[in-house]
Structure 1
């Protein structure tokens, strides 16, 4: 009789275990299938945006509990415009784009920079043009992207070289058109960021070459959001956490990261080799970034590119709260 009782107890335990296991599987499926909060991010189609593509490819956004929909756009100006139109929740933008828009709007915020480079923006001239220095551009035209780091970079280079910027004609184009107009001779030089500088250099019929400007300007690319009731701080923090994983992945696996970026943006390894050593990927917010924007703002006023006579209080556009929760040491603001 005792044997039957023991067998019954063992059977009951087995049934309970099976039911519990099935419940765990069902519960796991429910969790897995739960819709993650979606965030649309306008991302500039440049290797500077590598942390976003790495985070997407490696599943870091999902690991942090957010569904990131990356919207590719050519340049930070277009990304910022999409943000203002509320077509996206977040956007990538350079300090120059932040500066120009800071004169017009006060309802956006910089959450973090994610990369720095002192050689991403270049001045390119055709190899046979004979243009090697700023003085060679006096009386000539330079293609720029108006209201962006492209325009500020040219002005800074001319000024530091002792050339009055008013003696150089600027023509505004979309960034994607700059290599073409240089090749066609519509302008004598272009002030352009990557990968379009490399595109100009790789033109087989009319190759361009960079002038010596490395170290002239330290570009930061930032993640920017909107202020207001619609802001989702929790999602912003999750996006930053995913980007933080991505920058560490880039540092630990540079070759694998390069392959991801190369395939995502349809780039050649030659181009990756051209630019990779110039990039420092990290999340940060610091006073030097604010000072850089303030300096550019003074230039914009002096050049009458804005109608304002005083610079905004740009520190109000920086919000380090989400970043500090990810990495307390990433911000000194």
Structure 2
């Protein structure tokens, strides 16, 4: 009987120990999870933002020791506004948005670009319209998004083609209305970014085609943060490390990456096939990105889109501190 009692006591002790240490382990995991710093990131709902969706889906943010909450917003302008109002900690933004805000604010930093494309913005005209080159638009109208990369793109294309921009009329629309304006014949062409160029090309009644503008304008999409006491370089580094994992995943697993993007943004495979080859996903900061913003700034001043007569020193908005900790070769600034 004593043997049974001893065995029972030993078993009871073992059970208590398992429950105690199991509780401790579980409690430790909860504390570890809670201990991960959190960061809110405003992400533009565009295929350009693919690294964020993939990093989230594949668990790369948590693997780098951070809880990332992606706040999806329509366009870089809204993302930047959310950053300035402290609704988020970081935001995605195009060069044009950075340029315009650089005239008004000096308390933000470009931490890294994460994708480049030389064909995201396109000039679209209706198939069979006879409009195939810049000279065909003299005296005609083009739909644009006023004060954006859309307007800058048209101006650059006309100038480089030897056409005085003043000889081409422009009509301002919101970007979502441009495909319809072209289809209805309100304008002869539109200067528009994706996915709205694809929308025009896919119109069954009045399909449009892109003019030959590939390589004219190199668009970068960037991660932007605020300067000041609230800045956390360690968190920025963790976010960039997760994005770096994501861009490598895209290169190694393109089909799986496309499926994640298709599911996240409810995109058709036809659209992904249309744009995918034009995107180069990588983390970088370089002088060409600064020069692109400077060129757009000169255009904004000349076009009276800003009240300033001189542009700020845009190099001050680029900060490679966090990026260089991830990859010392990713920045040439």
Give me the whole-angstrom Cα distance separating, in 1, the residues matched to 2:196 and 2:36: 36
Instruction: Answer yes or no: is 1:265 the counterpart of 2:265.
Output: yes
Return the alpha-carbon distance in structure 2 between the equivalents of residues 287 and 115 of structure 1: 15
Aligned CA distance change for structure 1 residues 326 and 20 (closer, same or farther; 3 Å): farther
Give the aligned CA root-mean-square deviation in angstroms.
2.4
The 3 A distance-change label for structure 1 pair 245 and 162 is same
2:4 matched residue in structure 1: none
Residues 75, 175 of structure 1: 8 Å contact kept = no
**Displacement of 1:35:** 5.7
Q: Supply the distance in 2 between the matched residues of 1:154 and 1:81 (Cα, whole angstroms).
A: 26
3-state SS in 1 of match to 2:86: coil
TM-score for both structures, normalised by structure 1: 0.91
Instruction: Tell me which residue corresponds to 1:88.
Output: 88
Query: Paired residue for 1:59?
Result: 59
Distance in 1, matches of 2:304 and 2:24, equals: 66
Compute the displacement of 1:27 (Å): 4.1
Quote the offset at 1:73 in angstroms. 2.2
User: Could you tell me how far 1:187 is from its partner in structure 2?
Assistant: 1.8
Output one character per residue of 1:79-127: Cα deviation in whole Å (capped at 9) or x when no partner.
2222223232221111111111111111111010000111111111111
Moved more, 237-246 or 18-27: 18-27
Larger CA deviation: 193-202 vs 32-41? 32-41
Quote how far apart the aligned CAs of 1:12 are: 11
- Deviation track 1:118-171 (CA, whole Å, cap 9, x = no partner) reads 111111111132211111112222222222221111111010011111222222
CA 1:269–1:227: 2 relative to 1, 3 Å: same
1:200 and 2:174 are equivalent in the alignment: no
Q: Distance in 2 between matches of 1:139 and 1:89?
A: 46
1:230 aligns to 2:226 (yes or no)? no
Gaps of 5+ in 1: 1-6
The 1:157/1:39 distance shift into structure 2, 3 A limit, reads same
Mapping of residues 78-227 of structure 1, within 5 Å: 78-227=78-227
- Secondary structure of 2:50 counterpart: helix
Q: TM-score, length-normalised on structure 2?
A: 0.91
The alignment partner of 1:42 has SS state of strand
| Superposition deviation, residue 13 in structure 1 | 10
Decide which moves more: 168-177 or 122-131: 168-177
Rounded to whole Å, the distance in 1 between the matches of 2:293 and 2:235 is 27
- Structure-1 separation of matches of 2:186 and 2:78: 24
Comparing 88-97 and 72-81, the one that deviates more: 72-81
Deviation at 1:181? 1.7
CA distance in 2, matches of 1:83, 1:128: 44
